[in-house]
Structure 1
Amino acid sequence: MRILLIEDDQHIGDGLWHGLKKNGFTVDWFQDGHEGQCALEHTPYDAVILDLGLPSIDGMDILFSWRQRHLNTPILILTARDALPNRVAGLNAGADDYLCKPFSLHEVVARLLALIRRSKGQSSATLCYGQLTLNTSTKTVFLHHTPLLLTQKEYLLVELFLLHPQQIFTRAQIEDKLYSWDQEVDSNAVEVHIHNIRKKINKSFVLTRRNLGYTLGDKP
């Protein structure tokens, strides 16, 4: 899952960036509000963490602009503005959740996962596909009730297909989901990940659609 983080505080942003990455998220962090605002308009993020007290543009203006343009990505407001009228205003402007500083990283992760699940029409953290089960909260995968060892990118790719079982993804779309802007991507990285997933699950778990991309295939 790829997260857009817009936070100008260096200490808070650095802690969130490292903490979210350790929890399996791909994270793009912007300290400038205008840059972060443009990022959502060009990249398919699964959720946004938005600070309101940004120096160049108020976070509420960014939120209002996104919702006016019908960008429906789940948004978690993270701010020091803890007064009730501020929380109500943020939610009424289109935010999906509101968390005041100081905060716990564990709560941020839990709220993000809940927002993303709801946006995908999932009520449970457990995704099942035949004999394969994946838990988005614990980041664990079981095949025939046996733990399946996946690399972080392999896990993210399996999660992506399970969350979008009918969608065909191009290689570029998969790269957008797996890699942040500061990561270099080998030209055959996606193919290598898919090859390894097929070896670990089954050959037809991921199907190749000629000239289109990849999609979820047979149940293991």
Structure 2
Amino acid sequence: MHLLLVEDDHLVAEGLCRSLRQQGYSVEHSSTVKSAMQWLQNDEIELVVLDLGLPDGDGIDILKHIKKHRKNLPVVILTARGSIDDKVMGLDLGADDYLAKPFDPAELFARLRVASRRVTQAQTSTLKVGDVEMDTAAFTVSFQGEPVNLPRKEFMLLKALLENQGRVQSKQQLENKLYEWGEEVGSNTIEVHIHHLRKKFPKEFIKTLRGIGYVVGKR
């Protein structure tokens, strides 16, 4: 799940980004209202963890923007404002949950799982291109109905390609995906794993556009 963390405290943000990636989230970080608004133009953002006290404005304005333009996007407020009035206001404005600092990371992760389930239950978990099918919820892949076992990095690369079928994904975009998911990325990581994936699926399933990137599906 693609998560936007809006947090201006550098140390808190660094620790949370690392922990969230370990939990399996793909994480983007913003420290200001302005940059958060820019990230929210990206339809791939599926979940927001929102601080309220930001250097260039109030996180409440971000919440209002989300509920006006993307009302189904889950928002978990994580802030030092812990009064009952603040919590009531945040929840009344459409936040899915409200957690005051200091907080226990395990509690935050539990609340995010609840918010995540609401998203995944509202969306199909199946990606399909030709005879290749992936269930992103069950972490399974099949070809012509037969299971295909993939290591984690190969699964994630294939997921990125299937999610963008018909659209070319550059090496840099795929490297960024692996990095967001907390994976180590070497100089030839993408080429090696694409090579391994090609051995498990039909020839030309993953097409290379020389000097541009990789694509599956019609283009």
Query: Normalised by the shorter chain, which TM-score bucket?
Result: 0.5 to 0.7
Query: How well do the aligned residues superpose, as a CA RMSD in angstroms?
Result: 4.2
Is 1:132 aligned to residue 136 of structure 2? no
1:7/1:13 contact within 8 Å kept = no
Deviations 1:159-195 (A, max 9, x none): 1222221211111222222213987632222212211
Is 1:47 aligned to residue 12 of structure 2? no
Is 1:101 aligned to residue 105 of structure 2? no
2:63/2:75 contact within 8 Å kept = no
Structure 1 distance, partners of 2:96, 2:42, is: 23
Q: Tell me: CA distance 1:66–1:174, structure 2 relative to 1, closer, same or farther (3 Å).
A: farther
Partner of 1:200: helix, strand, or coil? coil
Percent identity over the alignment?
26
Greater radius of gyration (CA): 2
Q: Give the aligned partner of residue 186 of structure 2.
A: 186
Q: Give the aligned partner of residue 74 of structure 2.
A: 76
Q: Give the aligned partner of residue 94 of structure 1.
A: none
Partner of 1:86: helix, strand, or coil? helix
Q: Give 1:101's aligned amino acid.
A: L
Q: Tell me: CA distance 1:198–1:39, structure 2 relative to 1, closer, same or farther (3 Å).
A: farther
Q: Tell me: CA distance 1:141–1:125, structure 2 relative to 1, closer, same or farther (3 Å).
A: same
2:129/2:165 contact within 8 Å kept = no
Structure 2 distance, partners of 1:202, 1:113, is: 34
Structure 1 distance, partners of 2:133, 2:110, is: 23
Structure 1 distance, partners of 2:156, 2:114, is: 17
Unaligned ranges ≥5, structure 1: 92-96
Structure 2 distance, partners of 1:44, 1:184, is: 26
Unaligned ranges ≥5, structure 2: 101-106
Q: Give 1:99's aligned amino acid.
A: D
